[in-house]
């Protein structure tokens, strides 16, 4: 894998390329190599404590810059934030096609228009307050930050699907009230909003009306530590961006959701309420792109019934869908957590047997055939030796 920053194909996340050739001048330090000759590290510097970029006007989420900083060459780690941001922004923009840059700018303008006009109902939601957001056992598990502490509060009813109690009822009620207030404003202002994805006709993107920073904290401080333990093979330890939204099911809303995979490495799905029947999630095994339409095996089939305040955490490539909500009104919070580092590395991988069920089956079959052939060869040689 080349890390020398030469242009290539389109990248979905921070790509290993260099910046714009700006040299940092400092008479008190040895001369540094021009940025154009700098290379990203292949392995992140885990001992480095990256800067916080939340207070800066950026083209991308602040958490992306914080995560990418660990991959900067050692000579750049002591640079001022402004210089590091400039270098990393060049990395991110270089592989965005011109049309994509226009789309990003239009969405930024769209989001700014909402934030400038929408008046939040519960401003306390827009900052992370763990003590009033999460149930005590969940907070204790994250504080202890061990596999044992996580497993104490979790169930794994099907391989790779983890369920646990997460949100306090009052937090669920506040978030539902905020979403309803936003939708009321949308209708009164006759403002056309973007829906969460191409599958849902109802719901709202929470990031678009100001909750992005709070959801960043949710991912960084609470989901990433868990994902580092249970989903390391799909970038669980390097989650650096998210797509946060709510979906709505029931009468006059979406009825169900077809069989699909998420555009995420790790997905958090939490039921917020209200009263409803039906709407079960059904899972059918994790697959890579090559095997996404392959059949399911009995051990991969699992159905889950939602409980308000309780979370489901799974790989984004874990195939799933939602059955029809037959009565009432169900609203869920979804957080698609992504790793730009994993997405870059995945382009150079050919074996996904560590997480793709079908790749693993094929690998085991190849091993079985190889062992059988080896046994036959040994028997043949033994027979020749006896003769």
pLDDT in tens, 90-144: 888 776 666 767 777 888 888 889 999 999 999 999 999 999 999 999 999 999 9
Q: Can you point out the beta strands (E) in 175-322?
A: 204-205, 241-250, 257-260, 266-273, 276-278, 281-286, 301-304, 310-315, 318-322
Specify whether the CB–CB gap between 73 and 41 falls below 8 A: yes
pLDDT at 315 > cutoff 60 = yes
Q: What percentage of the chain exceeds 90 in pLDDT? A: 57
Specify whether the CB–CB gap between 177 and 185 falls below 8 A: no
Specify whether the CB–CB gap between 214 and 207 falls below 8 A: no
What pLDDT sits at residue 97? 66
Q: In the chain, what are the domains?
A: 62-95 (no CATH), 123-347 (2.60.120.620)
What pLDDT sits at residue 35? 55
Which tokens is 22 given?
A: 């700006």
Handedness of CA 169, 170, 173, 175 (dihedral sign): negative
pLDDT in tens, 60-80: 778 888 888 999 999 899 999
Specify whether the CB–CB gap between 291 and 320 falls below 8 A: no
Which tokens is 148 given?
A: 């044992």
pLDDT in tens, 340-355: 889 988 888 888 898 9
**Pairwise CA distance, residues 28 & 210, whole Å:** 42
SS3 67: helix
End-to-end CA distance of the chain: 52
| pLDDT tier, 320 (very low <50, low <70, confident <90, very high otherwise) | very high
Task: Report the DSSP beta bridge partners of residue 244.
Answer: 335
**Pairwise CA distance, residues 124 & 141, whole Å:** 24
Handedness of CA 235, 237, 239, 244 (dihedral sign): positive
**Pairwise CA distance, residues 141 & 125, whole Å:** 23
What DSSP character marks residue 221? I
Type and span of the H or E element at 96: none
pLDDT average, residue stretch 155-175: 97
What pLDDT sits at residue 284? 94
Is-above-0.85 flag for pTM?
Answer: no
Specify whether the CB–CB gap between 342 and 238 falls below 8 A: yes
Specify whether the CB–CB gap between 128 and 109 falls below 8 A: no
What pLDDT sits at residue 203? 92
What pLDDT sits at residue 349? 83
pLDDT average, residue stretch 11-22: 32
pLDDT at 322 > cutoff 60 = yes
- What mean pLDDT is reported for the chain? 86
What DSSP character marks residue 5? B
Counting beta carbons within 10 angstroms of the beta carbon of residue 137, is it exposed (0 to 12), middle (13 to 18) or buried (19 or more)?
middle
What pLDDT sits at residue 386? 79
Type and span of the H or E element at 165: strand 161-165
**Pairwise CA distance, residues 359 & 351, whole Å:** 7
Query: In terms of Cα–Cα distance, which of 213, 215, 193, 183 is closest to 336?
Result: 215
pLDDT in tens, 241-289: 999 999 999 988 888 888 899 999 999 999 999 889 999 999 999 999 8
What pLDDT sits at residue 118? 94
């Amino acid at each position: 894998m080349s890390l020398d920053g030469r242009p290539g194909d389109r990248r979905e996340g921070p790509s290993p390329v260099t910046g714009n050739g700006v040299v940092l001048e400092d008479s008190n330090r040895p001369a540094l190599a021009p940025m154009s000759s700098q290379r990203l590290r292949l392995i992140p510097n885990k001992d480095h404590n990256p800067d916080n970029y939340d207070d800066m006007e950026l083209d991308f989420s602040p958490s992306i810059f914080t995560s990418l900083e660990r991959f900067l060459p050692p000579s750049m780690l002591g640079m001022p934030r402004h210089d590091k941001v400039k270098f990393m922004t060049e990395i991110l923009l270089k592989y965005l096609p011109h049309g994509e840059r226009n789309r990003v700018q239009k969405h930024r303008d769209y989001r700014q228009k909402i934030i400038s006009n929408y008046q939040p109902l519960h401003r306390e939601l827009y900052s992370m307050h763990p003590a009033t957001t999460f149930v005590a056992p969940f907070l204790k598990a994250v504080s202890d930050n061990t596999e044992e502490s996580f497993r104490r509060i979790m169930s794994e009813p099907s391989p790779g699907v983890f369920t646990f109690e997460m949100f306090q009822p009052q937090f669920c009620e506040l978030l539902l009230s905020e979403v309803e207030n936003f939708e009321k404003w949308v209708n009164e202002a006759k403002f056309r909003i973007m829906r969460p994805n191409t599958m849902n006709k109802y719901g709202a993107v929470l990031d678009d009306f100001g909750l992005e920073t709070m959801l960043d904290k949710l991912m960084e401080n609470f989901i990433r530590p868990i994902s580092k333990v249970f989903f390391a093979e799909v970038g669980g330890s390097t989650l650096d961006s998210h797509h946060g939204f709510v979906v709505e099911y029931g009468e006059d809303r979406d009825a169900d959701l077809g069989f699909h995979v998420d555009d995420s490495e790790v997905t958090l799905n939490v039921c917020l309420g209200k009263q409803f029947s039906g709407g079960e999630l059904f899972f059918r095994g994790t697959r890579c792109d090559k095997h996404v339409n392959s059949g399911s095996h009995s051990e991969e089939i699992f159905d889950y019934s939602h409980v308000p305040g309780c979370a489901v955490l799974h790989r984004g490539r874990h195939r799933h869908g939602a059955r029809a909500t037959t009565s009432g009104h169900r609203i869920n919070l979804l957080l698609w957590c992504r790793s730009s580092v994993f997405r870059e590395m995945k382009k150079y991988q050919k074996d996904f047997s560590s997480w793709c069920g079908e790749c693993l089956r094929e690998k085991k079959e190849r091993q079985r055939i190889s062992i059988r052939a080896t046994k036959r060869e040994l028997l043949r040689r033994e027979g020749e030796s006896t003769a």
